[in-house]
Amino acid sequence: MEARPQEHFVAKQRVHLPGSLRPDWWLGGGLAWEGFSLGWWPERRGCQAVLLDCSSHVYNLHQKNGFTCMLIGEIFELMQFIFVVAFTTFLVSCVDYDILFANKMVNHSEHSSELVKVTLPDAFLPPSVCSARIQQNGFLISILVIAGVFWVHRLIKFIYNICCYWEIHSFYINALKIPMSNLPYYTWQEVQARIVQIQKEHQICIHKKELTELDIYHRILRFKNYMVAMVNKSLLPIRFHLPGLGDTIFYTRGLKYNFELIFFWGPGSLFENEWSLKAEYKRGSNRLELADKLSARILWIGIANFILCPLILIWQILYAFFSYTEILKREPGSLGARCWSLYGRCYLRHFNELDHELHSRLSKGYKPASKYMNCFISPLLTIVAKNVAFFAGSILAVLIALTIYDEDVLAVEHVLTTVTLLGVGVTVCRSFIPDQHLVFCPEQLLRVILAHIHYMPDHWQANAHRYETRDEFSQLFQYKAVFILEELLSPIVTPLILIFCLRPKSLEIIDFFRNFTVEVVGVGDTCSFAQMDVRQHGHPAVGPVPLPLHWGVLPVAGAEAQAEVTHGVLPGSLPVPACIVARLRQSS
């Protein structure tokens, strides 16, 4: 074995795993097989190069149910993008809507004296005319060019991901002894236990003798732990006071993407790589200079968002139209249903909580949360909904009866449209009429919700029946229609938030990453809150925290224990897996 300086890279261990798999992969060097290597990352990487990429890919492949499912899903995403662009171009340039709406007669010269039925292909323009209309539309051509560049970027990313996941696929089969056909039936805890066992037997993570479950959690959730801390500290500008609307939360996928681009992985981000914060951000001597640099970078990204706003807005509208129109027709009341908001998913997320664990926990609280929100249906709105449903239903009943008697009624202009709109209106009105046999108990429902979301401010207690409590909870549990509307507005609002709201917080952000970043041996830089160190971040009123023996919650005492990280406290009622609790007890 050739020894090399440890500060530059770790000596390669010639331990042969099953199938001649060597530990270079776990260090980021790729899967090394007898005779050749599939490595896609630099082979020489130090102890800090340990495994954010690898851990995340191992977890993602498990959550996507194996290599084949992941591959097919990625291919369909590429095809979906092509379909949306091509189909929209066809609708804009290749359809004669005068014929489609019967505003113009179809010219069938051989049947000029006969009544000819119009078919759908009659409304399609000839390929030559369609091509000419596309070429004459400069705006459309520019959109197609940008869409093509974006699709090529996604294709390159797809090819890279396939190469990475193929190595993970081989790791599952040869090292973990889990065939892809059985992977959907393995829990993540079982996969994680096998990784820990392989570390004990073959030292795939050379810098540490033991690879703990907490190490794996930190590597997978490094950036997400930072986001959870920043949201809980109200460091990110996502809460606004709007005239007439009061306190409003605006946190969309586009805004979240820009935050992560700025902080974690974009060009010039705060992180040197996926596991290490840049050295200059760990020192306080040049904080003002770094804040100015970050402010300028946020400004340029905000300007880029502003320039791309029309294109992103068009895409958001098209995607929403193609995604939700059929659902709205089939289930008109679906937009009146509720879902956990993106802000709620981040605010209620615990440190070191994986995606599937968060989804499972919030899903268990979905039904009681829906019942709780339904307690607040306005009596006045119920009366209006009942009467509107009666009037609309009466007209709908007559049209349906006429259609049953003679189906030619549907040929009358706008009859089918009227029937559809009346049906949607009746369904929407019915959603505002509560079941008269249900008895609502807001206090009990809110306590059931608390058992799952592990969050309840002091002023909610004994006030579950008040509209103030309901309004605050609705920020976490919003209407599906509000979620869609926010996503549509995101391309317009995001650049404004970045330029006018995030930039003034540049110095606070620099201080946050310096003050709450710790370097963990074999893991890299992580958010200090994710270390679960109650002595460092706990509240004095809480005192020593007895660690439970089972998978459960870290109990906290007193009303102030429910305070947020803003006040220097770990979020109250923080559930911790047994494996992590054991490690915490050992360190205590």
pLDDT (0 to 100) of residue 541:
53
Contact 422, 395 (CB under 8 A): yes
Positive or negative, the CA dihedral 84, 90, 96, 102 is negative
Burial class (CB in 10 A: 0-12, 13-18, 19+), 371: middle
Among the listed residues 476, 480, 486, the one whose alpha carbon sits nearest the alpha carbon of residue 348: 476
The amino acid that residue 282 corresponds to is K
Interatomic CA distance for residues 123 and 52, integer angstroms: 54
Helix (H/G/I), strand (E/B), else coil: 478: strand
Helix (H/G/I), strand (E/B), else coil: 112: coil
C-beta atoms surrounding 35 within 10 Å: 6
266-269 own/partner pairs: CB under 8 Å, 24+ apart: 266/301, 268/297
pLDDT (0 to 100) of residue 535:
66
- Report which secondary-structure segment, H or E, holds 517: strand 517-520
Q: Look up the pTM and report it.
A: 0.82
Helix (H/G/I), strand (E/B), else coil: 382: helix
Structure tokens at 300: 């340029």
pLDDT (0 to 100) of residue 377:
82
pLDDT (0 to 100) of residue 112:
52
pLDDT (0 to 100) of residue 538:
61
C-beta atoms surrounding 68 within 10 Å: 13
Positive or negative, the CA dihedral 274, 276, 278, 282 is positive
Q: Please, what's the largest Cα pairwise distance for the chain?
A: 95
Residue with tokens 């207690």: 461
- Could you state, in chain order, the average pLDDT of each consecutive group of 10 residues for the chain (588 residues)? 35 34 39 34 34 75 94 96 95 91 71 66 91 93 94 96 92 92 94 89 74 89 96 95 89 97 93 90 93 97 96 93 83 83 96 96 95 88 93 94 87 87 88 81 93 92 92 94 95 97 97 94 89 67 44 36 38 44 44
pLDDT (0 to 100) of residue 437:
77
Among the listed residues 19, 9, 371, the one whose alpha carbon sits nearest the alpha carbon of residue 178: 19
With vertex at residue 66, the alpha carbon angle to CA 64 and CA 71, rounded to the nearest 5 degrees, is 80
φ, ψ (nearest 5 deg) of residue 499:
-75, -45
DSSP 145-191: HHHHHHHHHHHHHHHHHHHHHHHHHHIIIIIS---TTTGGGS-HHHH
Structure tokens at 178: 């889990």
Interatomic CA distance for residues 573 and 453, integer angstroms: 9
Interatomic CA distance for residues 546 and 540, integer angstroms: 15
The amino acid that residue 357 corresponds to is E
Q: Which residues contact 119 (CB under 8 A, 6 or more apart)?
A: none
